[in-house]
Structure 1
Amino acid sequence: MASSGRYVTQVGVRGALLLLGFAGSLWSFFAFPSFWRAVPARSVIESIIAGQHFKPGVLTSVLVNIDREARQTLNHPALERAEALIKLRIAEKTIQRQSLEESERELTAAEQKTKLSLCLNPSDAYLWLMLYWGSNLQNGFEERSLAYLHQSYDLAATEGWIALRRNKLALAILAQLNESLQEKVVSEFAALVNSGFTDSASANIATVGWAHRDRLLASLSQVDINSRETFARALAYDGISVSVPGVEISGFSRR
């Protein structure tokens, strides 16, 4: 009788192992295709963030393909992020070329997809920034939208590829930010100069940052001297006369 009980137990264990193996096979069948389908999405993400331009209709075509794949993957984060970024880029282009009604429709669709992507990956600093950008375009500046900008800085205060877009947006409302966030924005500006993003930094201080130029220039005191000289030269070339810490502007001529 005891032997019979052991036999039943062994059969049960083997059956359970077989079921686990079968379940693992099913997981591999569904998960790995999902992974490989996400690879093109990552490529699109990188191209959009890098500022690559696309021919008319290309992004819409890619979006259709990604949407088809997304329905089979139960909200794969990479695919949702790609959709959000594509919709944001389409909305951006629509604002430049289409009617106000069409622009609002595209912005609303982009906002919805961006929020869905952030639900799946709330640590995406770039999408928090773009949520702030889209909210401002739709509703004008609102205090509540500052939470999106705060979140972007809290998650990635020194990401160069985010800073290229974020610093300009933040400098435009610097006086309305709390002191802690102001410090992050000013430090980000200095980091742009130090990292060699001279064109972006010089454009920022000459436009949205002009009212805060003394504070921004003072933040450059610890920046590499070669970067400071390059920055000063760029400003001088554009006819902007300011005092960059540690740099003699009189020695510079137009490039």
Structure 2
Amino acid sequence: MVEETNANSLQDRERQLALTTVAIRNSFSANPADAFLWLLFYSAQTATNGFQAEYLSYVERSYQLGPREGWIALRRNRMALAMFPFASESLRDMIVSEFVGLVDAGLIEDAASNLTGVGWPYKDLLLASLETADIVSREAFAKRLVKDGVKVPVPGVQTNERPW
């Protein structure tokens, strides 16, 4: 709801955030085990009140309820990498594992964007974690990064520096 609104004023946006939060809370009564709802709740709370460490439990709940839901992972991984320094070790493990899952599932564009964007400060950890990913996926990921002009070592992949 918030993403779709074209609020012209801060008051309109705040009203829309409040309505969204109420809608999410109501949805929890029907489906408290929905991983996407927990992610949206984190997003709404952060947008309303600013980042607070206690909100990380909502992201962790999302991972617990839907650890391998690709369509959620596309959004969640980017959001989770943005708050990575504040995450517990167990949540960090879930975030890194999800990143590997994106590469392994062939969601190369999103994984590359996450690495070169919000994940850049953690690139060494994220790249090292790819050792467990399928070699074909790692090669595709490395090629995508080279195409974008990003020269980083992807485990087990030799990159050809010559573009021809």
Q: Deviations over 1:64-99 (max 9, x none)?
A: xxxxxxxxxxxxxxxxxxxxxxxx3xx1122x6532
| TM-score, length of structure 1 as denominator length | 0.62
The answer to whether 1:175 aligns with 2:90 is no
Q: Deviations over 1:35-60 (max 9, x none)?
A: xxxxxxxxxxxxxxxxxxxxxxxxxx
What residue in structure 1 maps to residue 42 of structure 2?
132
Richer in helix (by share): 1
Aligned equivalents of 2:132, 2:139: Cα separation in 1? 13
Please tell me whether Structure 1 or Structure 2 has the larger radius of gyration of its CA atoms.
1
Matches within 5 A, 1:199-210: 199-210=109-120
RMSD of aligned alpha carbons: 1.4
Distance 1:165-1:200 versus aligned 2 partners, 3 A rule: same
The answer to whether 1:216 aligns with 2:152 is no
The answer to whether 1:93 aligns with 2:93 is no
Letter in 2 for 1:236: V
Matching residue within 111, 119, 123 for 2:29: 119
Q: Deviations over 1:159-191 (max 9, x none)?
A: 111100000000011111111110010000000
Aligned equivalents of 2:109, 2:162: Cα separation in 1? 17
Matching residue within 94, 113, 123 for 1:184: 94
Higher relative contact order (CA 8 A, sep 6+): 2
Deviation at 1:251, TM superposition (A): 5.3
Count of equivalent residues: 164
Please give the secondary structure, in 1, of the residue aligned with 2:160: helix
What residue in structure 2 maps to residue 66 of structure 1?
none
| TM-score, length of structure 2 as denominator length | 0.95
Deviation at 1:138, TM superposition (A): 1.3
Would you say the 8 A contact 1:236–1:252 is kept in 2?
A: no
Please give the secondary structure, in 2, of the residue aligned with 1:141: coil
Deviation at 1:209, TM superposition (A): 0.4
Matches within 5 A, 1:138-177: 138-177=48-87
The answer to whether 1:196 aligns with 2:106 is yes
What residue in structure 2 maps to residue 231 of structure 1?
141
Runs of at least 5 residues in structure 1 that lack an aligned partner in the other structure: 1-87
Aligned equivalents of 2:162, 2:35: Cα separation in 1? 38
Runs of at least 5 residues in structure 2 that lack an aligned partner in the other structure: none
What residue in structure 1 maps to residue 163 of structure 2?
253
